[in-house]
Structure 1
Amino acid sequence: MTALATITALDGGDMPAYRADPAGTPRGAIVVIQEIFGINAGIRRKCDTLAEAGYLAVAPDLFWRITPGIELDPDVAPEMERALALMGEFDQDGGVRDIEAAIRYARAESGKKVGAVGYCLGGRLAYMTAARTDVDASVGYYAVGIDGLLGEKHAIARPLLLHIAGADGFVDAATQGAMHEGLDDHPRVTLYDYAGEDHGFATEFGRRRSDAAAELADERTAAFFADHIG
């Protein structure tokens, strides 16, 4: 079952969210963290797939303070440009606080452990969420700018999985190398590399998707959540 939901933000505002419920009692809950394209069809499908696997899935609209309800298509050039502009306007620290509110909501609604999974900007936010909140486990796909966040790695107390696109147009080889150098020996962090894959390879729809890599990464994510969320 899917529905629109309202989450009370930490500052008291009403944050919209997309919610997908499993058929029975949830085995846990997952907060799905959007790309720069809003809660579009791809993010909703991510939630629906998690619900089919038995999780309560919640995707907060992190752009609600800028332009609530926006949905963009990365395969349409003007919409990609709009998305990049929104990323520049977006308060990432405030976004993590909104994710924290979503974690609290999901934990209260499910009564179970809560994980987080994010893509692109959401992958970066998943890392920040692992370092700054009490989320039980986190996954980031092709996270951007992690080299600038390595100073927070010592705050990561619960499992974090990062999927790295080897030919990522937004994360160059030097940045990927810094991620490995900074995180390979972290006892709570696992990194997987996908050689030759570009940013967005695990999107649900559109030209960016690479089926084999997406399926492998999603299988690893499913196993990770089964181990750490339920």
Structure 2
Amino acid sequence: METNAKWIDIETSDGTFGAYLSLPRGGKGPGIVLLQEIFGVNQHIRNVADQYAADGYVVLAPDLFWRQRARIELGYDGEEWKQAYALMQATDFAKAQQDVGATAKALRGLVGEARIASIGYCFGGRLSYHTAANGLVDAAIAYYGGGIQNALERAPEIKVPLLMHFGAADSHIPLAAVKSIAERFDSNEQVEIHVYDGAEHGFNCNHRGSYHQRAAAEAHGHSLIFLSENL
């Protein structure tokens, strides 16, 4: 997979943080703000960024835990999972949204007149939902966004196309939560929801035991179609 990737700095009033930038071979295209899981901008998230760059997108993945520890990369089990969860719990979600806003602004500077979307996973999936509600992007995708069901009061604020992916066997997001989300957006034709049979939380991540190849492939296909229609 031939990509041109590097870390860049994004300046905010709170300080400067890093973001992983992956460019398509041609160097230009629509933009994607890629929002991490609780494990940092680790190898998997960088791989996802490179995959979307290979698909023709300019991808920027911000380090959302920089205030606690810059560029932390964690695994998915044992003590590292506990550390990742603690980092998420200690994160100021309002400040994380500000950081996504700064990232979106930087990305728009890179892509010019092209449109941009956000794509997030787990913690990043919830953030992608709020990014849509904040009007920062032209479209948004949320993979197993835990907590979206607790933020449905923001549903009227979402004016852009939104795609959500959930696993039917997700032990962190019960199907009742997915149903409540689906019911809330039932009258919004711009919102699309897919639920994948047999898929656990984190089904897109091939570094995790919960990886579900078929669900990941189908979700990526749905995401590419969604992006092509909306960017």
TM-score under structure 1 normalisation? 0.96
Give the aligned partner of residue 206 of structure 2.
204
Residue type at the aligned position of 2:32: I
* CA offsets 1:48-92 (integer angstroms, 9 cap, x no match): 011111111110000001111110011x31101111111110111
For 1:32 and 1:60, the matched residues in 2 are separated by: 7
Q: CA deviation at 1:171?
A: 0.6
Alignment check: 8 A CA contact 2:135 2:159 kept = no
Give the aligned partner of residue 5 of structure 1.
8
Alignment check: 8 A CA contact 1:38 1:69 kept = yes
Residue type at the aligned position of 2:6: A
For 1:101 and 1:196, the matched residues in 2 are separated by: 37
Report matched runs for 1:19-98 at 5 Å.
19-74=21-76, 76-98=77-99
Residue type at the aligned position of 2:46: R
Q: Any gaps of 5 or more consecutive residues in structure 2?
A: none
Q: CA deviation at 1:25?
A: 4.1
* Structure 1 residues 12 and 80: CA distance shift in structure 2, 3 A: closer
Tell me which of 140, 143, 153 is aligned to 1:141.
143
Give the aligned partner of residue 155 of structure 2.
153
Residue type at the aligned position of 1:169: S
Report matched runs for 1:74-223 at 5 Å.
74=76, 76-111=77-112, 112-223=114-225
For 1:66 and 1:178, the matched residues in 2 are separated by: 34
SS of 1:37's equivalent in the other structure is coil
Q: CA deviation at 1:16?
A: 0.5
Q: CA deviation at 1:133?
A: 2.7
SS of 1:138's equivalent in the other structure is strand
Q: Any gaps of 5 or more consecutive residues in structure 1?
A: none
SS of 2:151's equivalent in the other structure is helix
Q: CA deviation at 1:184?
A: 2.3
Residue type at the aligned position of 1:41: Q
SS of 1:206's equivalent in the other structure is coil
Indicate the percent of aligned positions where both proteins have the same amino acid. 35
Q: CA deviation at 1:164?
A: 1.1
For 1:134 and 1:19, the matched residues in 2 are separated by: 18
Alignment root-mean-square deviation, CA:
1.1
SS of 2:193's equivalent in the other structure is strand
Q: Which runs of 4+ in 1 moved over 6 A?
A: none
Tell me which of 195, 216, 226 is aligned to 2:228.
226
TM-score under structure 2 normalisation? 0.95
Q: CA deviation at 1:12?
A: 5.0
